[in-house]
Structure 1
Amino acid sequence: MLFDKIAKGVIYFGGIATIISVVAILVFVFWEALPLWFGAEGKEKDKVEVKQILQSRKPLLIGVDEYQEILYVVTDSATIDFINLSTKQLVQSSYIDSTSEGAITSASKSPTKNLIALGTENGKVLFGQVKFSVSFVEENKREVKPEFTLLSSILIDSLKKPLRNLVFRKNSGEDFTIIALTSDNRLIQFSSEKTFSLLSESEEKIYKNDLSKLVEYPISTIELDNFCEKLMVGTVNGWLYYISLKDKGNPQLIQKINPTPSGRSAITALGFIIGDQSVIVGDSDGNVTSWMRVIDEKSDYGWKLVNPHKFESHNAKVTSVASSLRNKSFITGDSEGKIFLEHLTSERTLIELSGKELPVKDIAFSPKGDGAVVLYEDGTIVSFEIKNPHPEITLKTLFGKVWYEGYSKPEFVWQSTGGTDDFEPKFSLIPLIIGTLKGTFYAMLFAVPLALFGALYTSQFSHPKIRNYIKPTVEVMAALPSVVIGFLAGLWLAPLLERILPGVFLMFITVPITITIGASLWKRIPSRIRYKLKPGFELFFIIPLIIFGYYLAQWLGPLFEYYLLGGDYRTWLMNTLNEQYDQRNSIVVGFAMGFAVIPIIFTICEDALSSVPSSLTSASLALGATKWETATRIVLPSASPGIFSAVMIGFGRAVGETM
């Protein structure tokens, strides 16, 4: 009695512990996934009145280091001023001697590398680079030291007209491109490319082109990607020009479109998203859209711009666009001081940042994507702290079609990782769900008939000696790890099936035919010989027939492929069904997962069939029914609950192991 009570207590404790463990796992998974549904957060961190610090110098644009400690301000007095955001003190000021160049009329910064360019009233461009060096003077005390280096000055406009807008990009090495807009609406391209010989001797090629002939209307804004290949030009009456600079010596107008809803609103802000595939377009009515190029066979150049995403309207002139260097997020500001943090892929506005109700002049997104600095028209600078861990997760991105960069239309795609931050994560669960169900379907289609009929044969027809060998052998198969099955399927089975696929499909014809012929021949064997064999030993007659059917199918496979499939089944699939053969396909999954599921279904089915009372089978045989009729009409229906349980348990493993 004591041992019974102890055993009972252990069983109860084990059951309760199992339930608690399962619930704890579910809670843990839920807790880990919960942050995916938290929205972005943003709050004001610091405010700097630069008038008091810079005095008469007027800010043109701003930037910030990755720790959001040091702010740099480019002014119209040709200075780069560095301000500590926390102490609001001027740390350092770098002066560019532009006396001989004339007054500063425009400024530009690069989203990466902190490249700065200043346009002058005499048609010259001064450009340099801001660098931040980080050191630790004491334990846990960081010191950020800013530095500005003037790289060069170049005469862009031979007519020496003031430059009212410009962009400066440096793609790799020493190559760079400057696009300048003069006061008389001329668009000038200046590109420098350096090539190096085997002896490390460099040769610089200069390309200078007047792009005004490609643009018909007055220009309002310009933007260039970081590869110095895609130039976007916006006009005052709403036209957007896509000019290719891939061949620096021969710029080409690829497309001219009107992206504004009204068709007349001026394009006031442009900005490329990280990866330089999508460009954000803001207009004077506050509309914000994204445009990207896709392959178009009808176009003369093979590309065209499409509009995959539209965002919440500002209802005021969009004045600035700043892109994150970590993901597909970007910030837009307007003439009324509204600042929206938005995300490209999810096509939604994450938060609205509240600063001042004044026109936004410039925005700097922190390199880590965890903050932003905004310059207002009156010279006030406000920094924001941003928490935006999972902007790409929405119900639409998980379960709906999304138009991803480079795709010709919205699609369901799962591709969670990439080589760089330029990559656009694709989190659609639909391919995973459909792929799991498809793999499970083929696995069950392969496993259920084999396991069920194998169990029926073993329990009702085979000799006990044979059963004692078959059942343990099949059960041992259940111990084979799914990882090993997947390894063999991917590296051995998949290439093998690709070579013999026509023969594999012919097996479904040749094997039943050979077994049928073998069965008819078995009946023609004299009774005195057949009855000498113990029941169930006909298995050793059937196995060679199955092997013969397999080799017959493989022998006929090449002939079948040559005469009926045009010599290559892959080409036939593409030409007839417009389907490309993938080496690791659902057939491979079905075979591999089928072998993983067969032992479970077979074992439970065999137990269920063997548990049918012998009185039922004896009564059926006594009434004149054959063994086959007894098995199919008495045993199978009686064991159907156990068979259903076996199929469901096998289905559960197939679903869980398909990945």
Structure 2
Amino acid sequence: MKSRYTDARSALAPSRRWADRVVTVAVTTGATLVLLAIASIFLFLIWASWPLFWADTRSEINTYNLDTHSPVVVALSETEYLVQDTASGDFKVFALGNPGEQKYQDTLSNVVRLAVDEQSASVLVTVTTDGVLRLYSDYDWFVGDSSAQEVQQPMVSRQLAELPEALQVQAQNNDAFNILLYYEDRVEWLVARSERGPVSQSTQVSLQQQLSLDAGHEPSRVHFIGQGEMLLSVAKDGRYWIYQSDSGVSAGRFSDVTELSFVRVLRSSYGIALIDSNTLVHIYGLSFDDQGPVLSLLDQYPLTDAELTEAFAPPFGGLMVASSSGNLEWLDTDFQSQQYLSLPQPPLSQEVQPAWYMTPDGVIVRATGDEFMSLKVDTRERSLRILSLFERRMYEGYEGPQYIWQSMPLTPTAESKFSITPLILGTVKAAFYSLLFAAPLAIAAAIFTSYFLTADLRARIKPLVELLAAIPTVILGLVAGLWLAPWLEQHLGLIVSFVMAVPFCLYLASIIWRLLPGNRTEARLSSFELLFSAAAIAFALLIASALSELAASGTSHTLVSYLAHEWDIEYEQRNAIVVGLVMGFAVIPTIYSIAEDALAAVPPHLREGALAMGASEWQAAKSVVLPTAAPGILSAVMMGFARAVGETMIVLMATGNTATMDPSLFTGLRTLSATLALEMPEVVPDSVHFHVLMFVALLLFLFTFVLNSVAEWVRTRLRERVAQL
């Protein structure tokens, strides 16, 4: 049986039928392409964030054969090592591929003690046989022998009273250098600082002793922490002391640590890794309380291998533990994961106890007999638990678990903090306060224009309200950040008084309106009534201005300072109030248009029937029209919420972009969309930060897509319901 559409189509001229078919195919194809585009975006975001949870650490392994048996002192790079000749005791640079090459024999002549900074091979401290200590900065290991004497000039020299047994050096911000000298009866902490003279441009270097520790501090358990500002000494039984040059010493004990095997300072210098005899790794973080610095437990990791040989704190984070079996285990403390790295084993004829080294750039080297094996870890893709992006975590420098988003640390050695929870809270906070301002006004305006205005005024006002959506949001954000936020801070009392005065004045105006002669309550409102309402709002503004001036004259505080002094409420200039007002202004057209259409779609006979039974216009709207259009109004609010969640420019320019967990009206926030706009242009491709941002985009896409889909489903159900009435 043919449908009406088929009969009508067959009655058309052939050209019209072809045009109809072309349009049908074009519309169908366009809709299909839209669905494919949405599905492609969804699949791309999944693909881009997938390595965040399922990636395996990639590593590059190189093997070299050696022609020398001189003991290695330190690994300078992946292919260059500082060795000490077994027979003469001289130091030289051993280069893989050219084992006989020696460099700086004159520069390092008569050197009996030597130390290189673990984070920079260009920082070097030496002690010669005659007891002269020399500190080198920007030391170049690879210049020619002819220019070595000219280039390798020490920045400071000092005659020591006696030869130390061991040395340790650490550069601090390129203008201060910490040196530890270990003697039989003491440990001395020296600091070299370079300062530019007030008159001349020459640099002067001073070497001063910070403090001296008595005997009993083992060199392997004395370390610089806190960016070189403090000295940590750990005893084998779990006791520790933190020394500060200006404020004494703080003592404590690791209560859950048995006999210690290794103590290592993590890359940030605010984290400490302890390995006990039970092969359990304890990660402690340095924080501060009223009593001074203290070490707090952050996490614990059980190790796979029981027999450990060495442990390193690589520059890419965490702890790298080497076992006697010749394998490595990486404890990624940033993302709370463990990865076991199995290395190829040497032939049985060369199998000896392996010696381990780490270069300043994080290459791990295993030396077994005449074979060197280097392992370079590619840390661009690091797996993590998905829940770690949402849960509270302990971080170095904090007394308790925190929600922190700090993808770009303040210092290169600090750990990145990827907690999405503050961003989600900021997004919901901005959208909620925007709806708190926009939804009542938009819905009330929709009811007002649908049932209390004449048709002529309704035809003029509705396009004007919808035209507000044409204002660029970047302009709204600019106005909010440069004008509204400072003005609101100065006139917060006026705004609060105005919000309180408007309902009172409108209620008073309605009473006066009813007292006027004539039957005006049943008629639709005209331009005169609008002017009367506008006059009531203007009167409310006058009352609010008078109240704010009266309050200001009675005290020396503004409302902002009063909140800070009396209620201890922090007020930030760019806060949720500013975002709520401006973004609510942007959301109003969306909610108003959909809500007004939903109200207009209610069949007229329902309203007319209520009026025929004696109900007033407001009673008919409240009891009949609003319940019928409620799904459409709910859909309008949901669409407005999705619009606010996806907004970028306003929240980018008017919130301060502070990722906090404070739901207060008076503090700033940071949203998911603003984070993407701020950090995506500078992110390193295929890095952990990149994959986390892709996951943030996936969350934002899913949230807005689901919310808009549900809103559209509600609107469809409303149309079906209204069609049956």
Which residue does the alignment assign to 1:604?
Answer: 594
Kept in 2, the 8 Å contact 1:273–1:279? The answer is no
Distance 1:558 1:399, change over 3 A: farther
- Residue of 38, 41, 44 corresponding to 2:57: 41
TM superposition shift of 1:512 = 0.9
Kept in 1, the 8 Å contact 2:522–2:617? The answer is no
Letter in 2 for 1:193: R
Distance 1:230 1:74, change over 3 A: farther
Distance 1:117 1:354, change over 3 A: farther
Which residue does the alignment assign to 1:131?
Answer: 140
Alignment of 1:196-235 (within 5 A): 196-200=197-201, 203-208=204-209, 211-213=212-214, 216=216, 218-224=218-224, 228-235=228-235
Kept in 2, the 8 Å contact 1:510–1:552? The answer is yes
Q: Distance in 2 between matches of 1:8 and 1:486?
A: 42
Distance 1:562 1:235, change over 3 A: farther
Q: Distance in 2 between matches of 1:344 and 1:530?
A: 71
- Residue of 72, 80, 85 corresponding to 1:71: 80
TM superposition shift of 1:458 = 0.6
Q: Are residue 617 (structure 1) and residue 633 (structure 2) matched?
A: no
Which residue does the alignment assign to 1:254?
Answer: 249
Q: Give the 3-state SS of the residue equivalent to 2:372 in structure 1.
A: strand
Which residue does the alignment assign to 1:406?
Answer: 397
Kept in 1, the 8 Å contact 2:110–2:128? The answer is no
Which residue does the alignment assign to 1:483?
Answer: 474
Which residue does the alignment assign to 1:241?
Answer: 241
Q: Give the 3-state SS of the residue equivalent to 2:458 in structure 1.
A: helix
Kept in 2, the 8 Å contact 1:219–1:235? The answer is no
Q: Are residue 364 (structure 1) and residue 367 (structure 2) matched?
A: no
Q: Distance in 2 between matches of 1:14 and 1:359?
A: 68
**Structure with more of its chain in strand, by fraction:** 1
Q: Distance in 2 between matches of 1:172 and 1:628?
A: 72
Bigger mean CA offset, 497-506 vs 314-323? 314-323
TM superposition shift of 1:389 = 0.9
Distance 1:237 1:467, change over 3 A: same
Q: Distance in 1 between matches of 2:175 and 2:360?
A: 25
Distance 1:279 1:225, change over 3 A: same
Q: Are residue 465 (structure 1) and residue 451 (structure 2) matched?
A: no
Which residue does the alignment assign to 2:94?
Answer: 82
Kept in 2, the 8 Å contact 1:44–1:355? The answer is no
Alignment of 1:241-320 (within 5 A): 241-245=241-245, 253-259=248-254, 261-265=256-260, 268-274=262-268, 276-283=269-276, 285-297=278-290, 299=291, 302-313=292-303, 315-317=306-308, 319-320=310-311
Q: Distance in 2 between matches of 1:258 and 1:122?
A: 41
**Alignment gaps of 5+ in structure 2:** 1-16, 346-350, 652-672, 674-725
- Residue of 364, 381, 388 corresponding to 1:397: 388
Q: Distance in 1 between matches of 2:157 and 2:127?
A: 10
Which residue does the alignment assign to 1:345?
Answer: 334
Kept in 2, the 8 Å contact 1:254–1:304? The answer is no
CA displacement 1:205-238 (0-9 Å, x = unmatched): 332466223x655554333359543223333444
Task: Tell me the TM-score normalised to structure 1 length.
Answer: 0.83
Which residue does the alignment assign to 2:321?
Answer: 332
TM superposition shift of 1:187 = 0.8
- Residue of 601, 624, 627 corresponding to 2:617: 627
**Structure with more of its chain in helix, by fraction:** 2
Alignment of 1:21-170 (within 5 A): 21-43=37-59, 45-50=61-66, 52=67, 54-55=68-69, 57-64=70-77, 68=78, 70-75=79-84, 77-84=89-96, 87=97, 89-95=99-105, 100=110, 104=112, 107-118=115-126, 125=133, 128=136, 130-131=139-140, 149=152, 151=154, 158-160=161-163, 163=165, 165-170=166-171
Q: Are residue 506 (structure 1) and residue 519 (structure 2) matched?
A: no
- Residue of 374, 381, 391 corresponding to 1:383: 374
Q: Give the 3-state SS of the residue equivalent to 2:633 in structure 1.
A: helix
Letter in 2 for 1:158: A
Kept in 1, the 8 Å contact 2:354–2:366? The answer is yes
**Alignment gaps of 5+ in structure 1:** 135-144
Q: Are residue 580 (structure 1) and residue 570 (structure 2) matched?
A: yes
TM superposition shift of 1:167 = 0.6
Q: Distance in 1 between matches of 2:119 and 2:518?
A: 90
Which residue does the alignment assign to 2:179?
Answer: 178
CA displacement 1:459-501 (0-9 Å, x = unmatched): 1111122112210101111122333323322222222222222
Task: Tell me the TM-score normalised to structure 2 length.
Answer: 0.76
Distance 1:178 1:474, change over 3 A: same
Q: Give the 3-state SS of the residue equivalent to 1:82 in structure 2.
A: strand
Bigger mean CA offset, 221-230 vs 649-658? 221-230
TM superposition shift of 1:409 = 1.8
Equivalenced residues, count: 617
Report % sequence identity: 25
Q: Distance in 2 between matches of 1:255 and 1:126?
A: 32
Distance 1:530 1:237, change over 3 A: closer
CA displacement 1:31-53 (0-9 Å, x = unmatched): 22223224342446223344x2x
CA displacement 1:271-301 (0-9 Å, x = unmatched): 3414x3334444555443343432312x1xx
Q: Give the 3-state SS of the residue equivalent to 1:240 in structure 2.
A: strand
Kept in 1, the 8 Å contact 2:189–2:209? The answer is yes
Distance 1:199 1:61, change over 3 A: closer
Q: Distance in 2 between matches of 1:638 and 1:589?
A: 32
Which residue does the alignment assign to 1:12?
Answer: 28
Letter in 2 for 1:650: G
Q: Give the 3-state SS of the residue equivalent to 1:618 in structure 2.
A: helix
Distance 1:60 1:12, change over 3 A: same
CA displacement 1:584-631 (0-9 Å, x = unmatched): 222222222211221111112212222222222222222211111111
- Report which structure shows greater RCO (CA 8 Å, sep ≥6): 2
Kept in 1, the 8 Å contact 2:118–2:360? The answer is no
Letter in 1 for 2:573: Q
CA displacement 1:353-391 (0-9 Å, x = unmatched): 536686564432462x5xx13244757532013221144
Letter in 1 for 2:52: L
Q: Give the 3-state SS of the residue equivalent to 2:313 in structure 1.
A: strand
Distance 1:340 1:256, change over 3 A: farther
CA displacement 1:138-170 (0-9 Å, x = unmatched): xxxxxxx9x99473896675244x51x321234
Kept in 2, the 8 Å contact 1:185–1:218? The answer is no
Distance 1:197 1:609, change over 3 A: closer
TM superposition shift of 1:174 = 6.7
Distance 1:577 1:119, change over 3 A: same
Letter in 2 for 1:567: H
